[in-house]
Copies of this chain bind each other. A is one copy, B any other.
Amino acid sequence: MPAPLSLRLFIEQYASLPEEDWKKIALLFHPRTVQAGQLLLAEGQICRHLYFLESGLLRYFILKDGSEITKFFTDAPYVFTSQVSFTTQAPAKESIEALEDGTLWEISLADANALLAHASWSTFVRKLIQEVQKYTEEILTELQTTTAEDRYKKMLSSQPQLLNRIPLKHVASYFGIAPQSLSRIRKNMLASRS
Contact = CB atoms under 8 A, between A and B. Distances in A.
A164 interface: no
Interface stretch (A19-27, A32-40, A140-148, A153-161): A140-148
Of A129, A130, A141, A144, chain B has the most CB atoms within 10 Å of the CB of A144
A133 interface: yes
Contacts of A187: none
A125 interface: yes
Main secondary structure of the interface of A (DSSP, over half): helix
A168 to B, nearest CB: 18
**Copies held by the complex:** 2
Of A71, A123, A132, A133, chain B has the most CB atoms within 10 Å of the CB of A133
A139 to B, nearest CB: 6
A83 B140 contact: no
A136 B129 CA distance: 12
Contact of A87 (B62, B93, B130, B136): B130
A129 B133 contact: yes
A163 interface: no
A189 interface: no
Nearest 5 CB-CB pairings of A with B: A133-B133, A64-B145, A140-B140, A136-B136, A129-B129
